Amino acid sequence: MTDPTVKPATQNQIRAEQLVAKLFQSADFGPKIRKVAKEIFPDISVPEDVVDPVIAPLREENEALRKHLEALSQKFEAREKKESETQAFHELEKAINAAGAKFKLTAEGIAAMIGRMQETKNFTDVEAAAAWVAHSAPPQQTAGPTWAANTARANLFGSAERDERYARLHTNPEGFLDDEILAFARDPDAYTRAA
């Protein structure tokens, strides 16, 4: 026997029930709808009542593993960055020493080269900075006598004092050449030492 107070469901009620059931099972909306439904009707049973107690420890363990992996990843990145910076420093140091040796730079020259690289913010072309320093530096004075060191003894063309040999060069060049060839032929070693 049917209860006369219970009315059959209307088409809208049936559709609403189907919609709620579909949304209740939806992967996108279901968890939120079930949470709200549990708050409104605490006596109903939802899948989370069974699954959450089993999954909760796994979620905690998963979160702990995620944090541990993040910490390890940060340590690894820091170590990799430090190793990369150390390697770049050693390569730059090696390039600076090689360029300094190639251009024969002193310690001051190498300091000037590094200053030039900092000034131009170009640390990739060390040789260019070394070449700039070598080109910009004043020429080095050589130690000891040079051809111009003893000018008192220079007697170019007999200008400081009269020399008959050089006078003959100016008055009779062919005769001077003949005399010089004969002097060379008599004793080449003495002739070249005197020259």
58-53-39 Cα angle (round to 5): 125
- pLDDT tens figures, 153-180: 555 555 566 777 777 777 888 888 888 8
Confidence grade of residue 67 (pLDDT, cut at 50, 70, 90) = very high
Place of tokens 């300094």: 100
The phi, psi pair for 131, rounded to 5°, reads -65, -40
The mean pLDDT value for 65-80 works out to 95
Confidence grade of residue 13 (pLDDT, cut at 50, 70, 90) = confident
- pLDDT tens figures, 101-123: 999 889 998 999 999 999 999 88
pLDDT at 135: 87
What mean pLDDT is reported for the chain?
Answer: 84
Spatial distance between the Cα atoms of 113 and 147, rounded to a whole number of angstroms: 33
Confidence grade of residue 138 (pLDDT, cut at 50, 70, 90) = confident
Q: What is the pTM of this model?
A: 0.42
Are 30 and 46 in contact by the 8 Å Cβ rule? The answer is no
Task: Report whether pLDDT(32) > 70.
Answer: yes
